[in-house]
Amino acid sequence: VAFVIKAMNTIFSSAVSVSALLFILVYSWSSLGVQLYGGLVYSGNPALADSDMFDDNYDVLNFNDLAMAIMPFMAMLVTGGVISHVITGYGLASSGGLVGSTAYFFAFYYLGVLVVFNVFVSFVIDGLTNENMAASLDGEPNEKLKSFYSMLKAKPTEGYDVVVKSKGGQDDVYMKLFADELAEILHPKDDAETRERSSTTPAVLEPEP
């Protein structure tokens, strides 16, 4: 719970400007939608009698008031796309036709969904990553990692340096992936002796029964 609270605090503190911009976009398009399409979607509208908007119950995404006008754009943000039934429905009911409704909804799609919302998502991912990294820095390295760090300090490789000395959740995974390489680095003499003994030990072939 504490991790989630810290992560949310990091996300919202770093994404205040992007969140405000997203809110302004949604509010602006909703207000414009009320002026353009307000009152056009109702049960007795003959233009929508046989439309997919009514048949599939998309008439709830209407612009009859400002609160309802926010819902089409929230659906677009959640799904990451446009709602074709809503576009065609408002194209049938409005004087601007299909061209006007397409331009209206796709303008928000490009600005709100593809640009601003994706920037907001990147802040969310960055906040979670930074919080996870900060949490991993609280751990203490085990003895193998300590000896590995000491070896790097004693025999530094050109262009590399130890900048973090802590154990995170990914260290165990990396140690398993590179177990052989770590063994060769940490115990080069033992590996050399083992290889020498294995090379000098003659192979014994058992006779077939």
CA distance 155 to 151: 6
Q: What is the mean pLDDT of residues 60-79?
A: 92
C-alpha distance from residue 36 to each of 32, 108, 194 (Å): 6, 15, 81
Q: What is the mean pLDDT of residues 86-100?
A: 92
**What rounded mean pLDDT belongs to the chain?**
77
Q: In 10 A of CB 58, how many CB atoms?
A: 21
Ramachandran region, residue 79 (left: φ > 0; alpha: ψ -120 to 50; beta: rest)? alpha
pTM over the 0.75 mark: no
Q: Which tens digit of pLDDT belongs to each residue from 164-181?
A: 555 544 455 556 666 777
Is pLDDT larger for residue 86 or for residue 13?
86
Q: Which tens digit of pLDDT belongs to each residue from 194-207?
A: 555 555 555 444 55
> Do residues 122 and 27 touch, judged by C-beta distance below 8 A?
no
Output the pLDDT for position 131. Answer: 60
